[in-house]
A and B are shown apart, each in its own frame.
Chain A
C-alpha cells in the first residue's frame, strides 16, 4: 500500500493550498468579475457534457415523433394551417398599423422604431442548483450571442444572457433573485421594478406605495429603460396586491407570462442598436430572416 506513509506535503497543507485557491477564485469572480474569459473558455470545454445530458431526452422525443400515426399527423397539420391562417390575418393588420405608426412618428419628428433580429435557440440544460434560476441554450458567440442580450419565448420575456461560450450561452431567468427588470403597466404607464425571489412563477414589484393605482390583472410590459430589454414586450401580470399598512411598501406579486419552469426553446433578440449581429447556421434560415426583416421595415 503506497498511502500508509505520505510523501510530499502533508494532507493539511495541500488542503489549505487548494482551499486558498478556491477562495481566490470566489473573490476574483464575485468581487472583481475578472473571471469572464476563463468562464467562457471552460463553458466551451464542458459543453459536450451538456449536450450528452439531453441526448436521451432527444432520442426519446425522436422515437415519439416516429411512432406518430398518419392520421394524428394529418390532424395536427390541419390545426396548424388553421392557426397559420389566423396569424397571417392578424399580421396583415399589424403591418398596416406599423406603417401607420412609422408615418405618424415621422410627422411628430421622433425616431422611427427600428426592428430587431432574432434567432431560435433550444434549451440544452437546466441548472439543478436551486439557488439560481438559469438555463443553457445551444447558441454561443459563434452565432453572435452576447452578454446582456434579451431572451424571449412565444409569450413574453424570459430573461437575459449571463455568460457566453462558443456553442452555448447561459440565460438568467427573470425569476432569479439576482435579476430585476424595469417595467411599466400597460393600462396607466406606471413604472415599476420587478425582482425575482427564487419562485419560478412569481416576481415581486418593488417600492410600490400603498396608494398605487395598479390593480390585480394589470399587464406589465418592458419599459425600455436600462437599455437591456427593448420596449413594449409583455412580461407579467399582477396577481395580488397586499396593502398591509404595517409594511413600508405594498407587497405586489406578478406572474410572468412565459412558462419559466418548462421552457424548451427560446428566442434570442438582437435590438437594432446592438453591436453584434446574428450568425445563422443554415443559409435557409438566413433567407427567411431577410424576408422577415423586409416585412418589418417597409
Chain B
C-alpha cells in the first residue's frame, strides 16, 4: 500500500506549519514567533516515527531553506541533527509528562537554532543577536498545547 490513511491531513499540517513560519506578524511578536515547523516535526517524529522519518525531515528542511531564502541545505542539516535524538528516544520521550517534554523540545530547538546560526556564521558572516533565541522559550511554553491539539488532529483524521 503506497497511500496510507491520513496522508492528506499530514500534508496539510506541513503546509500550515510553513505558512505560519512566514506569516507576517506585528513587530512586537515577531521576535517571539514559535518555531512552528520544528514543533510539528518533533510531534510527528514522536507520534508516528515509522512514517515520518529522516527523509521527510530532509524534504521539509529544503523547502524551509527556499522559504527563508537561506543557503540551500542549512535548515535541512539543522532539522536533521535536531530530529536524531527525537527519533532515537521517541519511546522514552512519549512517556514523559508534558512539562518534561516541553523542556526537551526547548533543548532540541535550541540545538537547531545554534546549528543554523553556526552555519550562517561560517557561510555568510552572520552576527549573533540574543532575540534569535527567544523562540526557544516561546516554543517550549507552547509545546503542551501543540501536543494536545495535534493529538486531537491525529486521532480525528486517523493518521497512523
Contact = CB atoms under 8 A, between A and B. Distances in A.
Interface in A19-65: 19, 21-26, 28-30, 35, 38-39, 42-43, 45-46, 49-50, 52-54, 56-57
B54 A129 contact: no
A288 interface: no
Contact of B63 (A14, A46, A162, A178): A46
B68 interface: yes
A158 to B, nearest CB: 15
A18 B80 contact: yes
Contacts of A19: 77, 80-81
Contact of B67 (A2, A21, A46): A46
Given A22-B80, A177-B127, A130 B132 contact: yes
A35 B126 CA distance: 21
B68 A22 contact: no
Given A25-B73, A29-B72, A42 B63 contact: yes
Given A56-B23, A177-B126, A178-B124, A29 B132 contact: no
B77 A134 contact: no
A42 B62 contact: yes
A22 B73 contact: yes
Interface string B111-151: 00000110110011111010110000000000000000000
Contacts of B68: 127-129, 132
Nearest to A8: B53
Nearest to A6: B50
Interface of A: 2-3, 11, 14-15, 18-19, 21-26, 28-30, 35, 38-39, 42-43, 45-46, 49-50, 52-54, 56-57, 125-132, 134, 136, 162-163, 170, 177-178, 197-198, 261
Given A3-B49, A46-B63, A131-B116, 4 more contacts: A46-B66, A125-B22, A129-B69, A132-B70
